[in-house]
Structure 1
Amino acid sequence: MNDALAALYPQHLATLRERTDTALARGGFEHLVVPAGRPITKFLDDQDYPFIVNPHFKHWLPLVDAPGSWLVYTPGEKPKLVFLQPRDYWHVVPEAPTGYWVDHFDIVVVRKAADAIAELPGLARSAVIGDQHCGLEDIVANNPPEVIDHLHYHRAFKTPYELELMREASRRGTRGHRAAERAFRDGASELGIHQAYLAAVGQLDAELPYASIVGLNEHGAVLHYTNFDRSAPADSRSFLIDAGASASGYASDITRTYAGKNAGEFQALIDSVDAAEQSFVARVRAGQSYPELHVHAHHVLAGVLREHGFIRMSAESAVESGVSSAFFPHGLGHGIGMQVHDVGGFQAAETGGTIAKPEGHPYLRLTRKLEAGMVVTIEPGIYFIDMLLAELKDKPFSGDIDWARVDAFRKYGGIRIEDDVVCTASEPENLTRDAFALL
């Protein structure tokens, strides 16, 4: 894989330089300065939380564990990496940078965090992008909107180098999903399933792009369920797993739902949601409005609810009345890349602005029109959530819902199917299904 990355990286770097040149010119800045960041110390403790690198830092180079380091870019000059390699016998000291990318940077090694100051340009003329944990108390990030807006808008368009890393993240994630399914079939607990996932992926919890969701039975109805029961239920009727993996800081985000033994009707519902999901994936085309695709998904899923006997109303009535939202209460998906919910999803243009969410759909995370190079998730679902269903019982259309059938499915929790999909100039590329096929 490194040979492929080595061949693709120069063009990736050239793209970042071009975008940054424009962004700095618009903001009137001469330099881009990006701290990798530093670990955050726990309150009243001398232990740190796991380090999470600044995404603007890892956009330029595949270093995700270099706290205290800095990236400096000046248009027309070679990018510079100020690499912190402290003298330390308490922890493992980062090794000096090596790999396909190092020849593209001027690399300066410093032994103390404060020594980086001498290697940075004049900050008054610099766009410093980061949070309050830059790594040096004397340096405060200014995050100029003119620069941020331009970079965030264009981050939606992945370079071939980035797509190759996302393919690898998908391959790692699908290996974990296969192991998790086997553990479920073998009767493991939620914690045991998660441990099988980590072992297959080869990553720690802190290295994953997000906290894994591993829900058995009714727990599949909790959209962000992260509790991990230690004991397996007496009867594992259903299993929902939403878990991803990382590759040099790039994420995959994959969800699958499985039926246990003697759950034929639930399996039929899974099959219908899966078919609907694949039909939505096929619509990931340049020019497609993502909000319109989200609303279309509501109509299709309302049809699935009617087909399987949960509602007697038309799909149109189910969407207009909000019934479909009780069974499908989240957005169809989001942009993905260096962050699992990538930035710029609502941005109207490279100069800023916001594209509003459709009325009645507050949880949609992407409102832009799809263009070639974007990577999005497609993740429809049908759930049996007690709180939301209780709100429907007092509505005038309550009689159009078969409550006995709904109650019979509460024990399964819910269904979500999620793929990561590249919008291209022609057919979409399904990173997730392609990775599963390789297995």
Structure 2
Amino acid sequence: MSAALASLYAQHLDQVIHDSDAALAASGHDSLLIAAGTPRLRFLDDQAPPFVASPHFLHWLPLTDAPGSWIVHVPGRRPRLIFLQPRDYWHVVPDTPQGYWVEHFDIVTVADENAARLELERSLGEHSAVLGEDGAAGSDIAPNNPPALLARLHWTRACKTAYEITLMRAASRIGTRGHLAAARAFAAGASEFEIHLAYLAASGQTEAELPYANIIGLNTHGAVLHYTRFERARPDARRSLLIDAGGQYAGYASDITRTYAAEPHGDFAALVATLEEMQQILCLDVRAGQPYPELHLEAHRLLGGVLAAHGLVRCSAEAAFAQGITRTFLPHGLGHLLGLQVHDIGGQQSTPEGGRTPPPPEHPYLRLTRTLEPGMVVTIEPGLYFIPMLLDALRATPAGSDVDWARVETFMPCGGIRIEDDVLCTADDPHNLTREAFAALA
């Protein structure tokens, strides 16, 4: 893949430099210093969680394991990488940078944080923008994270380059391999923990390398939106599996969810199939110029039809939507931006200068309120859940009389359904990165 990535990366870096120069000029800064970040020790401990590099750092180069390193960019000059490669026999030392991207940087290798700070001080100007967490380079060089500059960087990062899409396709293939193994493990009667191990083995990633903690819920656990407990024991009865898990490649994420029924010809399997049909309709609507909140509302209108078709409500699809019944069965947003972060930054930003477009008051958990543009990758993840707390609240309202509660009870042991794909918005038809990966591995 490296040979194919070389030219794509050169184009990507040109775009990153162009966007960074424009952000610097607009915010009144003359240089950009970006920290990879450093591991933070746990409270009263000498151990740290696994290191995750800053997305601003990874946007410039695919160096995921370089704690303490920095990128220095001055418009008109070749970008520099201050690469921290400590002398250390306690831990694995980061490898010397190599590959398709190194020729584009002046690389200075340092052995400790003091040497890194000295290099930074040589680059620090009166109007430098320094991006990172507090303490990223010691107390003498404090990140200032200028809001106006960050707003422009976050806005432009939503639209991916061809290089980034290539990396995200690779992440999709990694996640897909894990999902196929998880489905086989479920069919064989595995526990949640065993399904998790099967996913890790097939994807070839450790838990620390995953873009987010795997959500693997059997039966009623599928009604917990972010269920991550991993029961070790196999359940007495095997009814359903909801698995939300992704892969990561060079810092870029995939985010995939599938739901399976143990009984392939039962009512729950039929409900899963209908929700998947609905989800595919929504995926085809990922088009430039489409306001994402309208797509979210369309999901609820379609869900009203699903509830009516399967006898979960006695009213019409329109009435189920209008009364807010669908919000009980689908309490989260339809999806979000995806990229270097699973919930990529800037999803509710109003303009390149900043500002926020909040979600509709009735749908407070919608993470994406922007109008879709070519290059955006979004998730489309409608769900249909049987959550006791929310159903009890609905039952106590006038709209509750339009719900067939006996029918709802038959589905309660199965927990819930979510189907999620990662979809690329283009100037023409959308590209479903998830379905492409599944088809390639079929």
Which band: TM-score by shorter chain?
Answer: over 0.9
CA deviation after TM superposition for structure 1 residue 7, in Å: 1.9
Structure-1 residue corresponding to 2:59 = 59
Match of 1:124, SS state, is: coil
Letter in 1 for 2:224: V
- 2:200 matched to 1:193? no
CA deviation after TM superposition for structure 1 residue 317, in Å: 2.0
Q: After TM superposition, where is structure 1 displaced by more than 6 Å over at least 4 residues in a row?
A: none
Correspondence 1:16-415 to 2 at 5 A: 16-120=16-120, 121-261=123-263, 264-415=266-417
Following the alignment from structure 2 to structure 1, what is the Cα–Cα distance between the partners of residues 265 and 47?
A: 46
Q: Deviations over 1:245-291 (max 9, x none)?
A: 10000000000000003661101000000000000000000010100
- 2:434 matched to 1:432? yes
Instruction: Please tell me whether the aligned partners of residues 34 and 128 of structure 1 are also in contact (alpha carbons under 8 angstroms).
Output: yes
Following the alignment from structure 1 to structure 2, what is the Cα–Cα distance between the partners of residues 135 and 301?
A: 50
Following the alignment from structure 2 to structure 1, what is the Cα–Cα distance between the partners of residues 295 and 68?
A: 42
Q: Deviations over 1:115-160 (max 9, x none)?
A: 1122121253211111224142322111101110100000010000
Deviates more, 1:28-37 or 1:136-145: 136-145
Which ranges of structure 2 fall in alignment gaps of 5 or more residues? none
Deviates more, 1:88-97 or 1:313-322: 313-322
Instruction: Please tell me whether the aligned partners of residues 253 and 341 of structure 2 are also in contact (alpha carbons under 8 angstroms).
Output: yes
Match of 1:372, SS state, is: coil
Deviates more, 1:256-265 or 1:41-50: 256-265
Which ranges of structure 1 fall in alignment gaps of 5 or more residues? none
Following the alignment from structure 1 to structure 2, what is the Cα–Cα distance between the partners of residues 428 and 133?
A: 42
Following the alignment from structure 1 to structure 2, what is the Cα–Cα distance between the partners of residues 256 and 274?
A: 9
Q: Deviations over 1:278-306 (max 9, x none)?
A: 00000000010100000010000111001
Following the alignment from structure 1 to structure 2, what is the Cα–Cα distance between the partners of residues 216 and 306?
A: 26
Match of 1:32, SS state, is: strand
Instruction: Please tell me whether the aligned partners of residues 128 and 142 of structure 1 are also in contact (alpha carbons under 8 angstroms).
Output: yes
Q: Could you state the TM-score of these two structures normalised by the residue count of structure 1?
A: 0.99
Following the alignment from structure 1 to structure 2, what is the Cα–Cα distance between the partners of residues 217 and 133?
A: 45
Following the alignment from structure 1 to structure 2, what is the Cα–Cα distance between the partners of residues 77 and 69?
A: 19
CA deviation after TM superposition for structure 1 residue 397, in Å: 2.3
Letter in 2 for 1:345: G
CA deviation after TM superposition for structure 1 residue 5, in Å: 1.0
Q: How many percent identity over aligned positions?
A: 59
* Matched residue count: 439
Match of 1:176, SS state, is: helix
Following the alignment from structure 1 to structure 2, what is the Cα–Cα distance between the partners of residues 231 and 140?
A: 49
Match of 1:59, SS state, is: helix
Match of 1:214, SS state, is: strand
Distance 1:405 1:428, change over 3 A: same
Match of 1:240, SS state, is: strand
Letter in 2 for 1:86: P
Following the alignment from structure 1 to structure 2, what is the Cα–Cα distance between the partners of residues 127 and 318?
A: 51
CA deviation after TM superposition for structure 1 residue 406, in Å: 0.2
Match of 1:47, SS state, is: coil
Following the alignment from structure 1 to structure 2, what is the Cα–Cα distance between the partners of residues 213 and 93?
A: 32
Match of 2:258, SS state, is: strand
CA deviation after TM superposition for structure 1 residue 240, in Å: 0.4
Letter in 2 for 1:295: L
Q: Could you state the TM-score of these two structures normalised by the residue count of structure 2?
A: 0.98
Q: Deviations over 1:56-106 (max 9, x none)?
A: 001000011100000000000001000000011111111110000000000
Letter in 2 for 1:411: P
Instruction: Please tell me whether the aligned partners of residues 243 and 254 of structure 1 are also in contact (alpha carbons under 8 angstroms).
Output: yes
Instruction: Please tell me whether the aligned partners of residues 117 and 137 of structure 2 are also in contact (alpha carbons under 8 angstroms).
Output: no
Following the alignment from structure 2 to structure 1, what is the Cα–Cα distance between the partners of residues 135 and 206?
A: 23
Letter in 2 for 1:83: F
